[in-house]
Structure 1
Amino acid sequence: MPAPSALHRLSPLALCAGAFWCLPAGAASTAPAESLQPFAGIGWAHDDNLLRQADGAPAFGNGRSDSYRTVEAGLVLDKHISRQRIAATAKVSKTAFDHFKQLDYIGHDLQAMWFWHIGTQFDGRLEMLDSRTLAPYTDFNSDQRNLRQQRRQIIDAGWTLHPGWKLRAGAERDKASYDLAIQRFNTRTEKAFDTELLYQSRGGSALGLVARRVKGSYPYRRPAIGTVLTDDFTQDELKLRINWLATGSTTVQGLAGYARREQPSYGEGATSGVNGRINAFYTPRGPLSYQAGMWREFAPVESPFVSYTLNRGASIGVNWAASARVALEASATYERRTYTARGDFTGAAALRDAIRSASVRTVWQVRPGVKVVAAYVRQARTASALGTGKFDANVVQVSANVLF
């Protein structure tokens, strides 16, 4: 499948009001094959710095903290037709805040995938996503509602040349748009095309060579002193994909290599170097399992001033299956973000910050189809020179989901 773009990569740093209450955890995997099942969920959370305001900054509306409630309902489909498989989720949700009532919103999440096979040599995937949610306030100051609409389409096809060799090609279109006027400059469309030659050993390990091009376009030009900035970019990548079954309990997965990015708003207009992500999983016999990751990659930033950062980060996590019905998950993440120098910023070379986050999450499978989740999340950022200062935030959440 196409390598995931920075636009939609999953990250614990993207914490915002409403983001906790997406598809009920495990709902799709809980649904038996050949099924169409409704689900519903309720949630409550309290955030002591909802809008991620800097230490010492005047509080919006004479307050920083807020509690919010979410209700959601939807359908899950998982169906096999001969060798074809169709999986889909449709969800609508409503989030209401106690203090910042102007942030109340109705969101949705529509996802559909078709895993197709033709004979024994050809297979692939078609995917569609359409989601609407409240965007995070990490990188700009406002107490106004900022809804983000994301639409993504993916097509992927593979040709098995030999039992151990496969040729694959894919295309992806990802669009993000924002309701708030100050954020409209981050409205963007990314189109990606990639090809891969993949080798898979009899033991299950795999190694692939991936060539990829991403073209990003920003329809709204970002204003600057005496001019406007073009955030359009082209990024070319040559990377190795690895899925190494090192032992029966250890797996290493990664997609990393070389990337060159040409973007007028970045200093000389081009930057290049190592780019990618590597994850390791250790699942020995027993109730404990572990995972760790590290990355160096470009990522979009929802800032009024810049469109992308170069991020270097690491994460670690542990899962404890305390019983057949109760699991405890803990994780920690550190990410250092560098805002590549741009001529219209004084001292631009020093533009960087770091975000740290940690979370503890308990999952109670009350009965088949009924799940209760409680979590605590802490997030902190060092100061940057882009109008955002040092902050920390603590979030407590509880949710319950039912798959009928």
Structure 2
Amino acid sequence: MPRSVPSFVPSFVVAFAPARRFRLLAALGGILLTASAPAAEPEEGVHLYGGIGWAHDDNLLRIADGEQPFAGRRSDSYRTGEAGVVVNKRISRQRLAATAKVSKVRFDHFDQLDYEGRDVQATWNWAVGNKLEGRAEALYVQTLAPYTDFRSDQRNLRRQRRQLFDAGYRLHPSWKLRAGAARDKYTYELQVQRYNDRTEKAFEAELLYQPKSGSSVGLVARRVKGEYPYRRPFNPLVASDDFTQDELKARVHWLAGGATTLQALAGYVRRRQPSYGEGSTSGFNGRLNASYAPVGKLGYTAAVWREFAPIESPSVSTTLNKGASIGATWDASAKVKLEASAVYERRAYSARFVFPGSDDLDDAIRSARLNATWQARPKIKVVAGYAYQARSGSPVLGTGRFDANSVQVSANVLF
């Protein structure tokens, strides 16, 4: 699904903070993930990075309509400063890309949320001979967890640690066999949120056909195991949220001609989670991405998906998300770029047991974003943006409707 960010201050995360939520399944599925980067891919070598920013959000903690906000107010402004180092190095056929950044975030009113962020990432794209290649990846991210589905005004840092290894062997000029494994671990600062602590391990194998046309098609088999060490406060007597998910999917990368590219990863998924309902669910699961980049200054993207996803809520831990997104970019000049996007996602929750209203556990989230980027100098970038987010709410789960608007401006430099 689209890149997901802590939703209490969406524009702040995109423009200033070092965090990105790396999705385990997408990474193993080979979908390109954009790591937090200060600008376009830097030239080779070691570079220092620095940035400052300011933002304002009119519903910082995502308070539902009609609810009494914390300390009698909903809005707040905050300032961010960050610094780090960026490494981009190629040695023969090996390539190393790494970033190490720290950030400080200071709020004007809700100063109990002040925190120091961490973002350390490293990726090694390796090759041995002409037939064997792959990548190894490690990551550590510390940032604020989202407040979209958790009502609190207390700081709740989320830490993510990940390790990934992927290898592919070329059996034939047009055929490739690939295998990979990844481990993601999430931990939360607040004791009342520790039921979201989890470790996800994924293993997959793929047989890929790559003709000379540049398109490709593959068959992917994957198993994902999730382990939750703590039980939810909803009912501590039930089983944990541990799950096993098996997938058999087709992966398609199709150069449709001209400026159009289609990418799909979709197929059959079976998820077993004993603490919910009948204990298992199965069916179609997948994502389709499309991009259109004609010669000129405009570019377009679109996506649709149907995927399982975790949720940081006290009463449920998993949703089946169905959504769609559209986006457009415009290179207004050599130095100015405009970006716009809109996302709609409907979340269907799985009830642990039957109760009044348990057959209608869903809500929807809508978001939109508009960013303007000015490349003032080759290594100096200024970003200004506006973001909107809204949730329809689920009365059965005790979540209400809200709207939130935020604006931001930032500047960064790469030395």
Q: TM-score, normalised by structure 1?
A: 0.95
Number of aligned residue pairs: 396
In structure 1, what is the equivalent of residue 229 of structure 2? 219
In structure 1, what is the equivalent of residue 277 of structure 2? 267
Distance change >3 Å, CA 382–CA 96, structure 1 → 2: same
Q: Give the whole-Å Cα distance in 2 for the aligned partners of 1:376 and 1:334.
A: 17
**Greater shift after overlay, 342-351 or 222-231?**
222-231
Q: Give the whole-Å Cα distance in 2 for the aligned partners of 1:118 and 1:82.
A: 11
In structure 2, what is the equivalent of residue 75 of structure 1? 85
Q: Give the whole-Å Cα distance in 2 for the aligned partners of 1:84 and 1:174.
A: 25
In structure 1, what is the equivalent of residue 183 of structure 2? 173
In structure 2, what is the equivalent of residue 398 of structure 1? 409
Contact 1:70 1:96 in 2 (8 A): yes
Give the residue type in structure 2 aligned to 1:302: E
Give the residue type in structure 1 aligned to 2:122: A
Partner of residue 384 from structure 2, selected from 358, 374, 377: 374
Task: Name stretches of at least 5 consecutive residues in structure 2 with no aligned partner.
Answer: 19-34
Partner of residue 13 from structure 2, selected from 19, 25, 28: 19
Q: Percent of aligned pairs with the same residue?
A: 63
In structure 1, what is the equivalent of residue 145 of structure 2? 135
In structure 2, what is the equivalent of residue 309 of structure 1? 319
Q: Give the whole-Å Cα distance in 2 for the aligned partners of 1:13 and 1:87.
A: 25
Partner of residue 162 from structure 1, selected from 172, 190, 210: 172
The CA deviation string for residues 219-246 of structure 1, in whole angstroms up to 9 with x for no partner, is 0012344723410000000001111000
Partner of residue 163 from structure 2, selected from 144, 153, 158: 153
Partner of residue 348 from structure 2, selected from 338, 355, 360: 338
Distance change >3 Å, CA 25–CA 169, structure 1 → 2: closer
Give the residue type in structure 1 aligned to 2:13: A
Measure how far apart 1:345 and its partner are.
Answer: 4.3
Give the residue type in structure 2 aligned to 1:221: R
Give the residue type in structure 2 aligned to 1:10: R
Measure how far apart 1:313 and its partner are.
Answer: 0.1
Note the aligned Cα RMSD (angstroms).
1.5
Give the residue type in structure 2 aligned to 1:403: L
Measure how far apart 1:25 and its partner are.
Answer: 6.5
In structure 2, what is the equivalent of residue 256 of structure 1? 266
Contact 1:258 1:273 in 2 (8 A): yes
Q: Is 1:387 the counterpart of 2:387 in the alignment?
A: no
Task: Name stretches of at least 5 consecutive residues in structure 1 with no aligned partner.
Answer: 1-5
Contact 1:113 1:125 in 2 (8 A): yes
Measure how far apart 1:347 and its partner are.
Answer: 1.5
Give the residue type in structure 2 aligned to 1:19: V
Give the residue type in structure 2 aligned to 1:228: V
Measure how far apart 1:115 and its partner are.
Answer: 0.5
Q: Give the whole-Å Cα distance in 1 for the aligned partners of 2:376 and 2:204.
A: 43
> Superposition pairs for residues 194-209 of structure 1, below 5 Å?
194-209=204-219
Measure how far apart 1:15 and its partner are.
Answer: 4.9
Measure how far apart 1:341 and its partner are.
Answer: 2.8
In structure 2, what is the equivalent of residue 3 of structure 1? none
Q: Is 1:348 the counterpart of 2:372 in the alignment?
A: no
Q: Give the whole-Å Cα distance in 1 for the aligned partners of 2:374 and 2:61.
A: 30
* 2:71 partner SS: helix
Distance change >3 Å, CA 226–CA 280, structure 1 → 2: closer
Q: Once superposed, which parts of structure 1, at least 4 consecutive aligned residues long, lie more than 4 Å away?
A: 23-26
* 2:193 partner SS: helix
